[in-house]
Amino acid sequence: MIFAGIDIGSLTAKAVLLRHGKVIASHFEPVKATSLASADHVMGRVLAQAGLRIEEISLTCSTGYGRLEIPFADCNRSEVSCHGLGTFFSNKSVRTIIDIGGQDCKVVVIDSHGMVEDFVMNDKCAAGTGRSLEILARTLGVELADLGRFALRSRRPLPVSNKCSIFMELDVMQLLYQGKRRENIAHGITVSIARRIASLTGKVTLQKGICISGGVSKNAAVVRDIEQAIGVTFTPLAHDPQLMGALGAACFAEKEYRRRMEGGKS
């Protein structure tokens, strides 16, 4: 049996194929003009990787902002649930997930089965998200992929607001006008984001076994500064942290298939 998970986020589309409890294909890419176009393309990529046809998929589960707009999905689950189960699949010791996506940040606490016990989400402001990092990198005049490397060169972060993405951008522009070093401004940005995330984590009771997921988890400076801000060392994951939502959706696809085969029993 082969199960598919599709995660259509605000900035990226992700897909994962599972067979016998192992990931056999995965892919992520920037979203297309519509959720359906994104899902069609990313699904096509993982099917090509695995040498499969869509008819060979036993069941597909969707998640993310576009989860309700994918006609070939057999079921759908919330982002929070999928991130919880996906990270648990990737590392059974995980109990708390800090996920920083394109447009929101969330902290999810899970139990010993990967099910959500508690969560908090900050989706009212883009500050600290992947989208805000894109804007700030552009304002700073560096590529997004280079922002973390710039920050890692600095030992003197400059003050950057963490209250609002607009205020952050204004602070960056002011520091550039003052002739400050871009490395120190970049470090100020990552420290600001870390403090914002630390504030969010204070709204739930963190459980040991804390990991970070989402695209921003690939910014080494942000990861370092969040670890320092909340006083932890993140638990590593066995799979790409940007795929956790799609991986969890694939796990839910398998659960749903088993449920249907058992005649609807939970």
The closest alpha carbon to 102, from 77, 81, 133, 124, belongs to 133
- Token readout for 259 is 């449920």
CA dist., res. 49 & res. 137, Å (int): 33
- The H or E element containing residue 158 is none
pLDDT digits 0-9 by tens, 139-197: 999 988 889 999 999 989 999 987 788 888 999 999 999 999 999 999 999 999 999 89
Q: Provide the residue-wise pLDDT of the chain in tens; the chain has 266 residues.
A: 999 999 998 889 999 999 999 999 999 999 999 999 999 999 999 999 999 999 999 999 999 988 999 999 999 999 999 999 999 999 999 999 999 988 889 999 999 999 999 999 986 666 778 888 889 999 999 988 889 999 999 989 999 987 788 888 999 999 999 999 999 999 999 999 999 899 999 999 999 999 999 988 999 999 999 999 999 999 999 999 999 999 999 999 999 999 998 875 54
CA dist., res. 260 & res. 266, Å (int): 9
Residue 61 and residue 77 in contact, taking contact as beta carbons nearer than 8 Å: yes
The pTM score is: 0.91
Q: Go through the domains of the chain in sequence order and give each one's CATH number.
A: 1-91+239-266 (3.30.420.40), 94-236 (3.30.420.40)
CA dist., res. 98 & res. 226, Å (int): 10
- Token readout for 261 is 């085969």
The closest alpha carbon to 148, from 197, 97, 182, belongs to 182
Residue 44 and residue 25 in contact, taking contact as beta carbons nearer than 8 Å: no
